[in-house]
A and B are shown apart, each in its own frame.
Chain A
């Protein structure tokens, strides 16, 4: 997948949280990055891989792709469009 650690404006730690909590946190915190900025959701929840892109589609934000945090936990990258 795509995405480099350099462009991440904010990373939120959702390790250990079960669905739908990571997506709720994503929705809460996206306003903390400027429009055009990228928020990274660190989540080991099995549903996040499907639900973060689905959230972006439903809420008109951009799913940039998936990366991996230093501890191996998936990072889901979302660009704030509005």
Chain B
């Protein structure tokens, strides 16, 4: 994705542009997949077939069973249904949710909703790389004053890219089931073992917006926390978005097929940005695990720099980036992820490469950044 004025779209962690494979499938499925997949007539059977295909292709790409896959209205919807359904299924055991301090706000909000209905949600600290250690997870369970219903830990962090040791955490917490928010990583890196329930978001892997994936491991006790419906899949509600689900599955398959070549390329480009930012910009806090991370994203914070000014100035030059600084957030509070890691929260930039980002675009960004930072610092005399 090149912006008209040059520059580059560097916000793929917010939303990856639609994958060409998804575009083709979406257009043909819009033609063929309009009917109600529950009906018995031929157009309905076609829609049902397409939906079943989407489920099977998604399951195959993720290495799970088709009956473990539910399409939801969004990644956030998958998180809410998945986590709250797991907690509802565990209500006889306990009502305490433990979650890492760096979960996505969708998890935090679900925890607050749970707490507002008589449950409890407690945050578990992470280390300076943003990682929840298996020992910290286990200690939080052991020292908990009441029985733990579930633990939420992401597959990888959406802001800093750090991969969480999900499988080791699952072993360390014994019987406590894990909810794994895999929205940032699904399709890009394999789903880690150890989840009881997991969630993904199609527009983050190049599928269309408005499609989430909820995974409920066979044998996991999950109960619908919301009003039910009489649709095909009891874990979700509303008329199925058949074309969207099929396009999401096509993009997922394409990303999984491409990642053996795409990931090393993106990983190396991010390494280049990481090295150059640390070398060329004074007083910069480069955040997250340098190696064990998502391949496509990097976060850093520039001392004495207004994050909003930084985003606007880069945008003026054609570079689209996200920021976790308070002044750029709708909430006017700084990123809880950066704060939990002890990282600098102001002057923050998240760079996330889309699948077609080039070395030339990275070079252009690295060429522009030091002057932009210096100029903004100059306005405040630093």
Contact = CB atoms under 8 A, between A and B. Distances in A.
A29 to B, nearest CB: 13
Nearest to A52: B344
Interface string A49-78: 111011101110000000000000000000
B327 interface: yes
B342 A47 contact: no
A40 interface: no
Contact of B283 (A18, A19, A46, A58): A58
Contacts of A21: 380
Nearest to B339: A50
Interface residues of B, number: 25
Contact of B344 (A18, A24, A46, A58): A58
B327 A18 contact: yes
A20 B327 CA distance: 9
Given A19-B334, A20-B306, A24-B304, A50 B327 contact: no
Contacts of B301: 54
Contacts, number: 66
Q: Is the interface of B mostly helix, strand, loop or mixed?
A: loop
Nearest to B344: A54
Contact of B303 (A28, A49, A55): A55
B345 interface: yes
B308 to A, nearest CB: 10
- The size class of the interface chain A forms with chain B is 20 to 34
Contacts of A47: 325-326, 333-334, 345-346
B338 interface: yes
A45 B326 CA distance: 9
A18 B380 contact: no
A23 interface: yes
A27 interface: yes
Nearest to A28: B381
Interface of A: 18-21, 23-24, 27-28, 45-47, 49-51, 53-55, 57-59
Given A47-B326, A51-B344, A58-B283, 16 more contacts: A19-B306, A19-B346, A20-B304, A24-B381, A46-B332, A46-B334, A47-B334, A49-B339, A50-B339, A51-B334, A54-B301, A54-B344, A55-B303, A55-B344, A57-B342, A58-B303
